[in-house]
Structure 1
Amino acid sequence: MTKAQDYVETVKQTIKQRDPEQTDFQEAVFTVLDSLTPVLEKHPEYIEANLLRRIVEPERVIEFRVPWQDDTGHFQVNRGYRVQFNSAIGPYKGGLRFHPSVNLSTVKFLGFEQVFKNSLTGLPIGGGKGGSDFDPKGKSDSEVMRFCQSFMTELARHIGPDLDVPAGDIGVGGREVGYLFGAYKRLCGFKNGVLTGKNLTFGGSAARTEATGYGLLYYTQSMLKAHNDSLKDKKIKISGSGNVALYALQKANELGATVLTVSDSNGYVYDPNGINDKIVQQIKEVERGRIKEYAQQVDSAQYFEGSVWDQDIDYDIALPCATQNEINAQQAELLVKDGARYIAEGANMPNQTAAIKVYQDHGIYYGPGKAANAGGVAVSALEMSQNSERLSWSFEEVDAKLAQIMHEIFTKSEKAAQEYGMDGNYQAGANIAGFNKVATAMMVQGLV
């Protein structure tokens, strides 16, 4: 075992001992650390500075109670979190997630991933994440507002335009961001850049809603181009039907591909003629219905209960956009059998570690989430720039910048993989490219 390998294993053992119950966090960290051995061999000064131990430990973890009153007059209490992971290249930046599954391990893994995702964008933003185990589903607007006001009462003292700039995530859309911003304004005064994902009437950016889904397709487009391929006439499986999936569907249709599936937590629809994004948008965003309603409106579509990744059909590209760990090794084997050649992650960590190994063993080109779904945070950072300049750019301007950023993310990942003898391994390339920028910043700043 080399000195670099021994160092990586020592750091992994320390994490297991310190946080044995944080399995999500361990999985995210170990995936990155396993990619960094060749970097450490080239830069022994990183080992001497114990850089990995510093980079896997958040700079700050904030946990707080969130008391709020429901519509019946009863008092409820949830937990709130903000993990400010790394500020080496800029203020902490990352979303807030409101979902019953949120716990400290989840927030830490998302914050750790965010550090390198933000680094890959080339924009001056550090990494953080936050949220609560509050579930906005089934709650009235008044209940969501009261929760957001209570949540921000504590969070406000820890954030600011040059310190920490939260955004939305699962369960936190335009409604929630509006309530959070209003609460912050009452507490601290109007500071336009304190949150991103805002409404266009008070400092939001055009194309922010579409950014993650569009960015996923721009990244996928670059990945295919690197192999003398294109999206035109490709058959695509998409999971999910939320924001990311919807706008990935829309952009895929624009670029000449045929999307065969979309899904929700109950099941999926399959349409061999291609999913119509306008109908999905009407069902999910306007009517707030279930995806099975698509099959009731479109004669060529069929609805099935269960996971879309258990369906056996021929297709070319997989874009998982639903949730964490949605694809296991058996489903990955089916993906290979069905002829898919490319997979890019629209969700955060939708592939289990064993599934990723299947892709690597079978030569499937795999775009990890920290690269492929970075479009959302990229446009959030562009929103910060517009707020700082008191400007508002057009949709076309922002979309063009997004496309360029996603192309550069792929290019950086590709070059890093090639430099360290792992040509075609875009996961390792993304990890290395994201790490190198943060590592350099930490080294030149001294003991941080």
Structure 2
Amino acid sequence: MSHLPQEPEFEQAYKELVSTLEDSTLFEKYPEYRTALNVVSIPERIIQFRVVWEDDAGNLQVNRGYRVQNSALGPYKGGLRFHPTVNLSILKFLGFEQIFKNALTGLSMGGGKGGADFDPKGKSDNEIRKFCDAFMTRLCQHIGAETDVPAGDIGVGGREVGYMFGTYRRLRNKWEGVLTGKGLTWGGSLIRPEATGYGLVYYVEEMMKHVGKGSFAGKRVAISGSGNVAQYAALKCIELGATVVSMSDSRGCLIAEGDAHFTPEHIEEIATVKLARKPLTEFSGKSAFKYIEGARPWVHVGHVDVALPCATQNEVSEEEAQALVDNGTLFVAEGSNSEFYYLSSCLATQSYMQAMNAK
């Protein structure tokens, strides 16, 4: 099926999935699945709207808001992302992958993704509240507990979800489970913030057991990102006895030098820095680490046993994946979104199998 050439992120996700399925001979055994894939590759509905809000100086600001919906199983389910890079191609790719992630749960959930090209960085709490109110004022017409249940993503944490839930409740006059990621005192779920990061680490632990490589104890772990997923992945790795040697943000990465490594206290301070929408250069403990402007950690960390990309899509290039393999990395698993990591996972697995065969 041909897709729009101006949507590179979606085109990449679609082609990678199709090539994987074709290599598995799935379509030969079940040709009807190819038809099904062609159907779900076109979103059931794309909603695009204007978001007008007022900044602290009294000036009107305008952003683009989106929601992509695709379902055969139940209500749409997927995150909202507030970031200046948000566009329709990215949201289509994320919504497309969300279909399959949700189907694997065995629950009746379709796929959805949305957000806006709004940049929360540098904005006051009041400006973020006003934007969330304006965004939900338009989005609330298209969501509901039995229709579409958004969650958080990049730039959308508990504060933003809270602002949006308040607007939804006021406009729709309903208290219902229309947003996940709410506070515990008003309908949120226990350990929901930790779930993705913890789940990623548990998954890798099962990978280790499967190939007879023990557990996280004593292993060096490189992590990209410093948001919710990266923070809790780091904390769980540390709890399991691993040494975490990197974190990053959109401006650069922090690399542990010598015997330095991230501690739970470091992660707690990084969480505070991120909540204030500040860069990692504001992290006071960075003196024990090397900050590399404009870089991701993979080629700078030296030997690591595990690499966990937890920032955004396409966090590991082919060259970076090869550098990880060359430095002895055996396990790569993503906490963010993109099938591109299949490449780095395959490279790492290939390296491991070659080492095993050599023995």
> Helix, strand or coil for the counterpart of 1:309?
coil
- Supply the AA of the counterpart residue of 1:233: G
Q: Distance in 2 between matches of 1:74 and 1:299?
A: 40
User: 1:284 Cα shift?
Assistant: 3.2
Deviations 1:85-131 (A, max 9, x none): 22x22210000001000000010000001111111222221110000
- Supply the AA of the counterpart residue of 1:168: G
Deviations 1:342-387 (A, max 9, x none): 100012128477656644654579xxxxxxxxxxxxxxxxxxxxxx
Q: Which residue of 1 aligns with 2:143?
A: 159
Q: Which residue of 1 aligns with 2:357?
A: none
Q: Which residue of 2 aligns with 1:251?
A: 236
- Supply the AA of the counterpart residue of 1:249: A
Equivalent residues, number: 346
Q: Which of 71, 88, 100 is matched with 2:56 structurally?
A: 71
Q: Which residue of 2 aligns with 1:260?
A: 245
Change (3 A) 1:198 1:20: same
| TM-score, reference length from structure 1 | 0.73
Give 1:334-353 correspondences, 5 Å limit. Answer: 334-349=323-338, 351=340
Q: Which of 265, 275, 278 is matched with 1:278 structurally?
A: 265
Q: Quick check: 1:149–1:179 contact (8 Å CA) kept in 2?
A: yes
Q: Quick check: 1:99–1:171 contact (8 Å CA) kept in 2?
A: yes
User: 1:231 Cα shift?
Assistant: 1.5
- Supply the AA of the counterpart residue of 1:172: V
Q: Which residue of 2 aligns with 1:400?
A: none
Q: Which of 188, 204, 219 is matched with 1:220 structurally?
A: 204
Q: Distance in 1 between matches of 2:254 and 2:288?
A: 14
Q: Distance in 1 between matches of 2:149 and 2:141?
A: 12
Q: Distance in 1 between matches of 2:261 and 2:78?
A: 34
Q: Quick check: 2:45–2:69 contact (8 Å CA) kept in 1?
A: yes
Can you give the 5+ residue segments of structure 2 that lack an aligned partner in the other structure? 355-359
Q: Distance in 1 between matches of 2:20 and 2:340?
A: 17
Give 1:17-96 correspondences, 5 Å limit. Answer: 19-37=4-22, 38-47=25-34, 50-86=35-71, 88-96=72-80
Deviations 1:317-360 (A, max 9, x none): 11111222222111111101110001000121284776566446
- Supply the AA of the counterpart residue of 1:320: P
Change (3 A) 1:162 1:233: same
Deviations 1:273-331 (A, max 9, x none): 4311222222332674543455x537754433332112151111111112222221111
> Helix, strand or coil for the counterpart of 1:193?
coil
User: 1:58 Cα shift?
Assistant: 0.6
User: 1:55 Cα shift?
Assistant: 1.5
Q: Quick check: 1:91–1:164 contact (8 Å CA) kept in 2?
A: yes
Q: Quick check: 1:330–1:355 contact (8 Å CA) kept in 2?
A: no
User: 1:189 Cα shift?
Assistant: 1.3
2:224 pairs with 1:239: yes
Change (3 A) 1:292 1:64: closer
RMSD: 2.2
- Supply the AA of the counterpart residue of 1:223: M
Can you give the 5+ residue segments of structure 1 that lack an aligned partner in the other structure? 1-10, 366-448
Q: Which of 320, 324, 338 is matched with 2:313 structurally?
A: 324
| TM-score, reference length from structure 2 | 0.90
Change (3 A) 1:314 1:236: same
Q: Which residue of 1 aligns with 2:84?
A: 100
Q: Distance in 2 between matches of 1:130 and 1:35?
A: 26
Deviations 1:388-424 (A, max 9, x none): xxxxxxxxxxxxxxxxxxxxxxxxxxxxxxxxxxxxx
- Worse-superposed segment, 60-69 or 306-315: 306-315
Q: Distance in 1 between matches of 2:86 and 2:127?
A: 19
User: 1:152 Cα shift?
Assistant: 1.1
Q: Which residue of 1 aligns with 2:170?
A: 186
Q: Distance in 2 between matches of 1:70 and 1:140?
A: 9
User: 1:44 Cα shift?
Assistant: 2.8
- Supply the AA of the counterpart residue of 1:270: A
Q: Distance in 2 between matches of 1:329 and 1:355?
A: 7
> Helix, strand or coil for the counterpart of 2:216?
coil
- Supply the AA of the counterpart residue of 2:156: V
Change (3 A) 1:255 1:157: same
Q: Distance in 2 between matches of 1:65 and 1:81?
A: 9
Larger RCO (CA within 8 A; separation ≥ 6) = 1
Q: Distance in 2 between matches of 1:94 and 1:314?
A: 35
Q: Quick check: 1:327–1:350 contact (8 Å CA) kept in 2?
A: no
> Helix, strand or coil for the counterpart of 1:65?
strand
Q: Which has the higher helix share?
A: 1
Change (3 A) 1:89 1:68: same
Change (3 A) 1:360 1:27: farther
